Structure 1
Amino acid sequence: MAEFTFHTTETDHPKRKALLEKAQAGYGMIPNMIAGLSESPAAAEAYMALSKAVVKGSLSKEQQHVMWFTANAEHGCEYCMTGHTGLAMMDNIDPGVIDSARNVTSYKDSKLEALRQFTLIMIRQRGWADDDQVQAFLDAGYNKENIMDVIIGIAHKTISNYANHLMQTPLDKGSEPLAWKKPQA
Structure 2
Amino acid sequence: MPHIAPLSIDTADATTAATLKAVKAKLGMVPNLFATLAHAPAALNGYLGLSETLGTGRLSAAQREIVALAAGQANTCQYCLSAHTLIGKGAGLSEDAIVAARSGRGSNPLNAAIAGFARALVEDRGRVSAEAMAGYRQAGLDDSLILEVVANVALNVLTNYTNHVADTEVDFPVVAV
TM-score computed with the length of structure 2 as normaliser: 0.90
How far 1:44 sits from its partner (Å)?
0.8
Structure 1 partner of 2:55: 55
Q: Deviations over 1:106-162 (max 9, x none)?
A: 334333222222112222222223433322211101211101101110111011100
Between 149-158 and 115-124, the greater mean CA deviation after superposition: 115-124
- Which TM-score applies when normalising by structure 1? 0.86
**Cα deviation code 1:161-181 (max 9, x no counterpart):** 001111111121xx33xx122
AA in 2 matched with 1:164: N
Change (3 A) 1:3 1:144: same
- Rounded to whole Å, the distance in 1 between the matches of 2:15 and 2:39 is 10
Whether the 8 Å contact between 1:53 and 1:152 is mirrored in structure 2 is no
Distance in structure 2 (CA, Å) of the matches to 1:101 and 1:82: 13
Query: Does residue 98 in structure 1 map to residue 98 in structure 2?
Result: yes
Q: Which runs of 5+ in 1 are unaligned?
A: none
Aligned partners of 1:70, 1:116: CA distance in 2, in Å?
Answer: 6
Deviates more, 1:21-30 or 1:36-45: 21-30
Distance 1:68 1:12, change over 3 A: closer
Which is worse superposed, 126-135 or 81-90?
126-135
CA distance in 2, matches of 1:35, 1:180: 21
- Write the mapping of 1:34-73 to structure 2, written as runs, cut at 5 A: 34-73=34-73
Q: Is 1:9–1:21's contact at 8 Å kept on the other side of the alignment?
A: yes
Alignment length (residue pairs): 177
Over the matched positions of the two proteins, sequence identity in percent amounts to: 25
Could you tell me which amino acid in structure 1 is paired with residue 166 of structure 2? M
